[in-house]
Chains A and B, each alone.
Chain A
Amino acid sequence: MIRTVNLQKIFTTEEIETSALNGINMEVKEGEFVAIMGPSGCGKSTLLNILGLLDNPSGGEYHFWDHEVARMSERQRAQLRKGSIGFVFQSFNLIDELTVFENVELPLLYLKVPASERKDKVEKVLERMNIMHRRNHFPQQLSGGQQQRVAIARAVVANPKMILADEPTGNLDSTNGEEVMKLLQELNEAGTTMVMVTHSPYDAGFAHRVVNLFDGRVVTENIKEQFHV
């Protein structure tokens, strides 16, 4: 589904150049659940952003489905991203001024899905995330776990091919974290490709495969059988 060849990312400021990714070669197949691990500053989030078409690499190739996207403009990336990738963040990133329902509805609005269909889809996904009873609440009125469930609902409502999760349990207690991970696992089992950045070996245990990064390079790759908690 996605494939990178010698992917590089260099951040340049006025005085220094920092190399965040140093030739990443990796592949994620459709339906896979891949966890990316590594110490802080190793380039996990940078990689995730490039995989999520939020950022362009400085060099190398990135094939998303059949498209070579490494040199696409922001506009083209945005077009490709829309509807095909869902995002889940550590800090939920819900819009405070919108209700649970409206937050989840947002991607469908930008996909110009008709109102009745939107309502249907949002309600279904809220039911699935077990958050339907909170549909008219605002994010600040929810617990962290509930907020992350809303964020996951928003990520999946447009039925994307892939979900990218950046430390999805980082702001949650263990119970809520477990719940969220189970949800992601369920989604994956239902066919959604999942790429997750995490610090937590436990969370990584939900993945089929773990890619370990260090200093912007892939150092090891473990499949689930070799990496069981």
Chain B
Amino acid sequence: MLNNYLRIGWRNLRRYKMYSSINIGGLAIGLAVGILILVWVQDELSYDRFHEKGDNLYKLTVSFTSGTDVQTWEGMPGPIAVHAVKEIPGVQKAVRTRDNWGDISKFSYNNNDFFDIKTGFVEPSFFTLFTFPLLKGDVQHPFLDNTSLVVTRSAALKYFGTTDVMGKVIAGDGKNYVVTGLMEDFPEQSSIRYEFMLPFSILQAKFGGNGSWTTLDDDWGDFFFTTYLQLAPHTSIEKVSAGLARLRPDGQQEAAIKYNVQPLYDVHLYNPDLSEGSIKIVRIFLIIAIVILLIACVNYVNLSTARAMQRAAEVGVRKIVGASRRQLFIQFIWESVLVFALALVLAVIMILLLIPFYNNLTDKHLSFGLKNLQMIFAIGLSMLVTLIVAGIYPAVILSSFNPLKTLKGGLTLSGGNVSFRRVLVVVQFLIATVLIVSTLVVGQQLRYIKSKALGYDKENIFSFYSGQMYDHLEAATQELSGSPGIAAAATANQSMTGIDASTGDTYWDGKEKNESLIVHAFSADKNFVQMMKFRFVGGQNFTNSKADSAHFIINETAAKMMRMKDPVGKKFKLWDKDGIIIGVIKDFHYASLHEKIGPLVIHYSPVSFMVYVKTKAGEMDKAVASAERLYKRYNPGFPFRYNFLDDNLDKIYKLDRRTGKLFNYFAGIAIFISCLGLFGLATFATGQRVKEIGVRKVLGASVTNIITLLTSDFLKIVMISIALSVPLAWYIMNKWLEDYAYRITINWGVFIMAGGLAIMVALLTVIFQAVKAALANPVRSLRTE
């Protein structure tokens, strides 16, 4: 029997080639895109899930509140981990890590120098708390002393040329390190990743003191260390968080500090302050995947039920010769299975072809193969759900036909069925229009980001780390200023696209008790302020004189938050540096537009480790060459790495741009599939009305009359979709824009444009069939009837 079902299904597919192509093609595109998105979603959700103790592992972050401004840091002071284990019930173990912040700038092995090895300082418990198995070495004592080094398998192959690395010696800035452990590579879905791991005790040993704090484990002032805790099962996170707040030494407790205990599983998708991070994008794309599959299903249901009339006679005959409704239902379900299987084969081919492009687009290393269980799961799930959603309704409709009516040819689908089809098309175009609006809004926001005045001059400026040049920086920058291609040179200690150093160690005239102000702070010289063309609303720039060491320049937000009407000349203290405010500059964007501009202080330093160079117009190459020559003079053997401000800005919006691009593609695909369905329906509907068109033409209808008649029905449906899409799209896109502190407002133009586009696309889709029908000879159409 199954054989018979599949055979007739196959022959039907071959006979009605256009319907089959639309049906299978639409489903295949839907399945391919749906599966690709689901695999991506699954990949995102699987981050850090491989740790055996993962359920009980947490990362600590700390939030500081200053007025309405809350800042969250991922670094923790050294003592937190030590005291948490000792004093907070439920905290079993802790591990601290810190990235290599230039502590070791160059590794050398076998006369090869390596500058960019991702290195971290980790405590030994790193290898027992987390599931990072050692292939060689002692997991309990991975480091013998402060010269020990653990390397990953890939790093061993990359830098040593072999995995037989135990005991091998590599130099780090002239000091020797001995490999005492070989670790399996970090899984692709690990939020923690290093190539080399050095003992944390190196940092403890070289701690130089901070005020009254003499060891790293006592230093509550520097929030430098990423800290993870292992909690006993069922430990209350709130209690641990409260316990952490009480750990600070007496008199140092600040109500404005809150420790966040973040499950390790959430680190990848949530922000350090526990708010939703990229989980939002995951959710959006999950919805898009479902929506695209839904559109494909709608196509299938629409075309299958529209075509049901052509199968009616067959249903009648089958019923008359003895088929039960159940048997017919099963037959049509099997036909759906056949169509889905073919669509799946096509989808798999598409996925195979698209995966390199998709990986590039999503910045992932997804692979397609039977070994990829996630992929198989995604395929199985998509296939099953879509089959259930799309297969059942047509099977119910088809199997319900009355055999007598079908054979007499008097069968018409009930009004309910036709209305249902219309509703489905409305849903389809509603989704498509929402996606068009979304694409336009995302595009507008991205353009806004690109064109927004940031409050400083970002043109023709590049920066680089001074390295060994630092000791001679004043002379070096002077030399640079006069070098070919260079208009000016300056120094500062932060990157203009992410001034992330902040401190609450501030005091000012009029500060109230219990009031705190956490400011972004960075050091710079006079030239830097000039080069960036910060606009002064009061006061003036540094003068590069000795007095500048007690001078501060603040931004307008800082002035506002300190409630200073005329800040120039007022006292201000940053850390242990007492001085006065000499200038107030207009706010500028020192981070991405996702973040609100906060209070900012520039303190004077004649030299800072980052060199900024402004090139003369059109002499970029010359300027870079000049800077490189100078850099190499002071840093022989080190590669010259520099970044243009423009490029850095581009980088911070990489994720936004990628999201935008994905939106474009997905919207395009959704619209395309919808149009496929609409085309199929239009063809069918026109076919149904051949006689009517013939009669109308005989009675004097013009070609235009006929085209209007045939297209108006579909246009009405699209108009309804557009009307319904407006509030939905407005709501969704406003939610999306909430993520940006600086954003566009959605205007009516977007909806008009999206609506116009939807109408145009729908019109183009149906008009072909309408014109064909309108131009047909009425005599022939009446005869065919």
Binding site for B on A (CB under 8 A): 49, 52, 54-55, 75, 78, 81-83, 87, 89, 91, 93-98, 102, 105-107, 109-111, 154, 158
Which of B7, B317, B407: most chain A Cβ within 10 A?
B317
What is the minimal beta-carbon distance from B259 to any residue of chain A, in angstroms?
Answer: 69
What is the minimal beta-carbon distance from B329 to any residue of chain A, in angstroms?
Answer: 13
Would A154 and B4 count as touching, CB distance under 8 A? no
- Interface readout for B1-20 with A: 1 if CB under 8 Å, 0 if not? 10010011001100100000
Would B321 and A54 count as touching, CB distance under 8 A? no
Would A106 and B11 count as touching, CB distance under 8 A? no
What residues of A have a CB within 8 angstroms of the CB of B321 in the complex?
87, 106-107, 110, 154
Closest chain B residue, CB of each to CB of A111? B322
Task: Known contacts A78-B324, A97-B314; decide if A55 and B404 are in contact (CB<8 Å).
Answer: yes
Would A102 and B7 count as touching, CB distance under 8 A? yes
23 A-B residue pairings within 8 Å (CB atoms)? A52-B320, A54-B404, A75-B325, A78-B322, A78-B324, A87-B321, A93-B313, A93-B316, A93-B317, A93-B320, A93-B407, A95-B8, A95-B314, A96-B15, A98-B7, A98-B8, A98-B11, A106-B4, A107-B321, A109-B1, A110-B322, A110-B323, A111-B322
B318 interfacial contact with A, CB 8 Å: yes
B622 interfacial contact with A, CB 8 Å: no
What is the minimal beta-carbon distance from B6 to any residue of chain A, in angstroms?
Answer: 12
What residues of B have a CB within 8 angstroms of the CB of A94 in the complex?
317
B403 interfacial contact with A, CB 8 Å: yes
What is the minimal beta-carbon distance from B295 to any residue of chain A, in angstroms?
Answer: 29
What residues of A have a CB within 8 angstroms of the CB of B323 in the complex?
110
What residues of A have a CB within 8 angstroms of the CB of B327 in the complex?
110
- Interface readout for B303-338 with A: 1 if CB under 8 Å, 0 if not? 000000000011011111111110100000000000
Would A109 and B314 count as touching, CB distance under 8 A? no
The one of A75, A83, A87, A105 in contact with B320, judged by C-beta atoms closer than 8 angstroms, is A87
What residues of B have a CB within 8 angstroms of the CB of A91 in the complex?
407
Give chain B interface residues in 251-297, CB to chain A under 8 Å.
Answer: none
What residues of A have a CB within 8 angstroms of the CB of B15 in the complex?
96-97
What residues of A have a CB within 8 angstroms of the CB of B324 in the complex?
75, 78, 110
- Interface readout for B167-203 with A: 1 if CB under 8 Å, 0 if not? 0000000000000000000000000000000000000
What is the minimal beta-carbon distance from B518 to any residue of chain A, in angstroms?
Answer: 75
Binding site for A on B (CB under 8 A): 1, 4, 7-8, 11-12, 15, 313-314, 316-325, 327, 403-404, 407
What is the minimal beta-carbon distance from B179 to any residue of chain A, in angstroms?
Answer: 70
What residues of B have a CB within 8 angstroms of the CB of A81 in the complex?
320, 322
What residues of A have a CB within 8 angstroms of the CB of B8 in the complex?
95, 97-98
Task: Known contacts A49-B404, A102-B4; decide if A97 and B11 are in contact (CB<8 Å).
Answer: yes
Known: A78-B322, A110-B318. 20 other contacts (CB 8 A): A75-B325, A78-B324, A83-B322, A87-B320, A91-B407, A93-B316, A93-B320, A93-B407, A95-B313, A95-B314, A97-B15, A98-B7, A102-B4, A102-B7, A106-B321, A107-B321, A109-B1, A109-B4, A110-B323, A111-B322
Would B322 and A107 count as touching, CB distance under 8 A? yes
What residues of B have a CB within 8 angstroms of the CB of A111 in the complex?
322
A to B contact number (C-beta, < 8 Å): 62
Closest chain B residue, CB of each to CB of A79? B324
The one of B318, B325, B407 in contact with A106, judged by C-beta atoms closer than 8 angstroms, is B318
What residues of B have a CB within 8 angstroms of the CB of A52 in the complex?
320
Closest chain A residue, CB of each to CB of B407? A93
- Complex Cα spacing A82 to B318, Å: 11
What residues of B have a CB within 8 angstroms of the CB of A82 in the complex?
322
Closest chain B residue, CB of each to CB of A151? B317
- Complex Cα spacing A105 to B322, Å: 12
Closest chain B residue, CB of each to CB of A98? B8
- Complex Cα spacing A105 to B1, Å: 11
What residues of A have a CB within 8 angstroms of the CB of B1 in the complex?
109
What residues of B have a CB within 8 angstroms of the CB of A98 in the complex?
4, 7-8, 11
- Complex Cα spacing A93 to B320, Å: 10
Which of A87, A110, A111: most chain B Cβ within 10 A?
A110
Rank and list the top 5 A-B pairs by shortest CB-CB distance, nearest first.
Answer: A110-B322, A82-B322, A97-B11, A107-B321, A97-B8
Closest chain B residue, CB of each to CB of A102? B4
What residues of B have a CB within 8 angstroms of the CB of A54 in the complex?
320, 403-404
What is the minimal beta-carbon distance from B683 to any residue of chain A, in angstroms?
Answer: 20
What residues of B have a CB within 8 angstroms of the CB of A107 in the complex?
321-322
What is the minimal beta-carbon distance from B522 to any residue of chain A, in angstroms?
Answer: 77
What residues of A have a CB within 8 angstroms of the CB of B318 in the complex?
95, 106, 110
- Complex Cα spacing A83 to B313, Å: 20
Closest chain A residue, CB of each to CB of B314? A95
- Complex Cα spacing A89 to B404, Å: 12
What residues of B have a CB within 8 angstroms of the CB of A78 in the complex?
319, 322, 324
- Complex Cα spacing A49 to B410, Å: 15
What residues of B have a CB within 8 angstroms of the CB of A105 in the complex?
4
What residues of A have a CB within 8 angstroms of the CB of B11 in the complex?
97-98
What is the minimal beta-carbon distance from B545 to any residue of chain A, in angstroms?
Answer: 95
Task: Known contacts A75-B324, A81-B322, A110-B322; decide if A89 and B4 are in contact (CB<8 Å).
Answer: no
What is the minimal beta-carbon distance from A163 to any residue of chain B, in angstroms?
Answer: 12
- Complex Cα spacing A106 to B323, Å: 9
- Complex Cα spacing A56 to B537, Å: 94
- Complex Cα spacing A54 to B317, Å: 11
- Complex Cα spacing A111 to B319, Å: 12
What residues of B have a CB within 8 angstroms of the CB of A89 in the complex?
407
What residues of A have a CB within 8 angstroms of the CB of B320 in the complex?
52, 54, 81, 87, 93
- Complex Cα spacing A83 to B322, Å: 7
- Complex Cα spacing A214 to B699, Å: 38
The one of B12, B316, B319 in contact with A97, judged by C-beta atoms closer than 8 angstroms, is B12
Closest chain B residue, CB of each to CB of A93? B317
- Complex Cα spacing A95 to B320, Å: 12
What is the minimal beta-carbon distance from B751 to any residue of chain A, in angstroms?
Answer: 43
What is the minimal beta-carbon distance from B366 to any residue of chain A, in angstroms?
Answer: 41
- Complex Cα spacing A105 to B323, Å: 13
What is the minimal beta-carbon distance from B330 to any residue of chain A, in angstroms?
Answer: 12
What residues of B have a CB within 8 angstroms of the CB of A83 in the complex?
322
What residues of B have a CB within 8 angstroms of the CB of A95 in the complex?
8, 313-314, 317-318
What residues of B have a CB within 8 angstroms of the CB of A87 in the complex?
320-321
Closest chain B residue, CB of each to CB of A138? B11
- Complex Cα spacing A21 to B559, Å: 98
What is the minimal beta-carbon distance from B400 to any residue of chain A, in angstroms?
Answer: 11
What is the minimal beta-carbon distance from B382 to any residue of chain A, in angstroms?
Answer: 29
Which of A82, A83, A95, A98: most chain B Cβ within 10 A?
A95
- Complex Cα spacing A147 to B12, Å: 20
- Complex Cα spacing A102 to B4, Å: 8
- Complex Cα spacing A16 to B350, Å: 57
- Complex Cα spacing A114 to B316, Å: 24
What is the minimal beta-carbon distance from A158 to any residue of chain B, in angstroms?
Answer: 8
What residues of B have a CB within 8 angstroms of the CB of A102 in the complex?
4, 7
What residues of B have a CB within 8 angstroms of the CB of A109 in the complex?
1, 4
What is the minimal beta-carbon distance from A161 to any residue of chain B, in angstroms?
Answer: 14
What residues of A have a CB within 8 angstroms of the CB of B313 in the complex?
93, 95
- Complex Cα spacing A158 to B322, Å: 10
What residues of B have a CB within 8 angstroms of the CB of A49 in the complex?
404
- Complex Cα spacing A55 to B408, Å: 13
- Complex Cα spacing A120 to B578, Å: 107
- Complex Cα spacing A22 to B319, Å: 28
Closest chain A residue, CB of each to CB of B409? A91
- Complex Cα spacing A106 to B8, Å: 12
What residues of A have a CB within 8 angstroms of the CB of B404 in the complex?
49, 54-55
What is the minimal beta-carbon distance from B16 to any residue of chain A, in angstroms?
Answer: 10
- Complex Cα spacing A82 to B325, Å: 13
What residues of A have a CB within 8 angstroms of the CB of B314 in the complex?
95-97
What residues of B have a CB within 8 angstroms of the CB of A96 in the complex?
15, 314
What is the minimal beta-carbon distance from A111 to any residue of chain B, in angstroms?
Answer: 6
Which of A52, A91, A96, A97: most chain B Cβ within 10 A?
A97
What residues of A have a CB within 8 angstroms of the CB of B7 in the complex?
98, 102
- Complex Cα spacing A83 to B323, Å: 11
What residues of B have a CB within 8 angstroms of the CB of A110 in the complex?
318, 321-324, 327
